[in-house]
Amino acid sequence: MAKMLEKLKIYENNYKKLVKELASPEVSSNPLKIKEYGKKISELEGIIKISEKYREIISSIHEAEGMLEIEKDEEMKKFLKEELDKNIKGKQYLEKKIKIALMPKDPDDKKNVIVEVRAGAGGDEAAIFAKDLYRLYTKFAESKNWHHRVLSSSSIGAGGLKEIIFEIEGTDVYGIMKYESGVHRVQRVPATESQGRIHTSTATIAVLPEAREVEIKIDPSDLRVDVFRSSGPGGQSVNTTDSAVRVTHVPTGIVVSCQDEKSQLQNKERAFKILRARLKKMEEQKQMKKQAKDRKMQIGSGDRSEKIRTYNFPQGRVTDHRINLTLYKLDEIMEGNLEELLSALRRADEEKKMEKIGV
């Protein structure tokens, strides 16, 4: 307990220092510094609130213990013991929260993301499912007041999507969305199925933290950039200029094509944004392979080949296979209500990390 209080004291002192500096003329007259200090203070506020509650509950425990030593009345002693037990449980709960708060944070958690949704096995039904998942994520983004925009898309027959790549911008997007990477499976009766048979189809989701130019340096000599005329479904021309862009990263073989914008420059910028994110993820996966044991301890491994979730329409259920969680709330989840699922995944991830460090 003493060691934990010492750690908390460091955070409390740092918080007080930042608040004091924010009020100084040097910082308060500089909009950029106000933003910088405000962000740092906001990041510390959570642990400071827990710290205040922790100190209060410790004080209550000491007070109850002192009163128990001198109290003679049995009824009062019983009441004090109940209060003491309640506060001890509260203290244990807060200690767990503090340990989670003090764990090293993923530096990517606060970043925006690029989400790639691809139809997998199942033909037209897989493409329709990919479109449903895109709608699910955009509705979830809207519920969080996040902004989203399509970077690249490719339609397929029956109103489905072969692939769609879009970005989401907001607060702590990657930290919340990172658990969605993997293979999603749907079980339902397609509209075209006359016999009422249930079909199983899949779609693959990749959630990539946005990578800035300073993070991922790309050698221009490693690139091949081709331009071509955009085309829509069925090969029809979208415009009459060579505005579509295909970027190939020769060393890795990664190919990114963008044609949704009428401007070649805009399509090129979007293609480079996707390429940087993919290269960043590839580098991270190399590191994960070197630390395979650590990777298994995490829920959010980001492995695209891992079957993570099943959406069963006949039974109205969604099952996340990583944590063996089943919710009979399929309709709500397909409308973007992902909070319960993602919160459960985040808690499971925290518990595994705590096990790893022996907490």
The pLDDT of residue 240 is 52
Q: What is the CATH number of the domain that holds 186?
A: 3.30.70.1660
For residue 312, give its domain range. Answer: 113-353
Q: What share of the chain is helix, strand, coil (3-state, %, to 5)?
A: 50, 20, 25
359 lies in some domain: no
DSSP code of residue 197: -
108 lies in some domain: no
Tens-place pLDDT, residues 255-299: 998 887 778 888 888 898 899 899 988 887 776 665 554 444 345
The pLDDT of residue 233 is 47
Give the CA diameter of the chain: 93
pTM of the model as a whole: 0.72
Long-range Cβ pairs for the range 48-54 (8 Å, 24+):
48/11, 48/12, 48/15, 50/94, 50/97, 50/98, 50/101, 51/8, 51/11, 51/12, 51/98, 53/94, 54/4, 54/8, 54/91, 54/94, 54/95, 54/98
Q: Identify the domain boundary among 77, 102, 127.
A: 102
358 lies in some domain: no
The pLDDT of residue 297 is 39
Low-confidence ranges of the chain (pLDDT < 50): 233-237, 293-298, 300-303
How many domains in the chain? 2
107 lies in some domain: no
The partner residues of 154 in beta bridges, in order of sequence, read 163
DSSP code of residue 104: P
The pLDDT of residue 194 is 66
Do 82 and 222 belong together in one domain?
A: no
